[in-house]
Amino acid sequence: MKQRLLIFILVLLSAISANAYDAKIDGIYYDFNSSTKEAIVTSEIPMYGSSYTGSVTIPETVTYNNVTYSVTEIGFGAFDICYSLTSVTIPNSVKSIGTYAFYGCI
């Protein structure tokens, strides 16, 4: 039983690390799609509790490695369990908000 639990935990941890972000710019975590030049707002580890605090303003575009990306999505669990988050300003460029994006926010 302990061995199965250990295997489950290792699989879970590897799945969580697979959700790691591509970059943190001005306090916001992003994943990038280089083919579409779109950016997705994410968190350090989605569904594990986000580290965002205070007031967050998402920009319409973000530049990373000399490439400008349009911010088009707030991803799965991006702002989940943000007890210290007071507001989020979302630009018109955002076309979709993922499941659990604001889960547990007060």
Reported as a single tens digit per residue, the pLDDT across 56-95 is 999 999 999 999 999 999 999 898 888 888 999 999 999 9
Rounded Cα gap, residues 93 and 95, in angstroms:
6
Mean pLDDT over each residue of the chain, to the nearest integer: 83
Q: Taking 80 as the threshold, does the pLDDT of residue 19 lie above it?
A: no
How remote is the C-alpha of 3 from its chain's centroid?
32
Contact indicator for 67, 34 with CB cutoff of 8 Å: yes
- Number of domains, the chain: 1
Rounded Cα gap, residues 100 and 106, in angstroms:
13
Would residue 32 count as lying in a domain? Answer: yes
How remote is the C-alpha of 100 from its chain's centroid?
11
What CA–CA distances, in Å, run from 42 to 8, 32, 72, 73?
25, 10, 12, 9
Would residue 83 count as lying in a domain? Answer: yes
70 is in which domain, residue-wise? 20-97
Task: State the pTM of this model.
Answer: 0.77
Would residue 102 count as lying in a domain? Answer: no
21 DSSP assignment = -
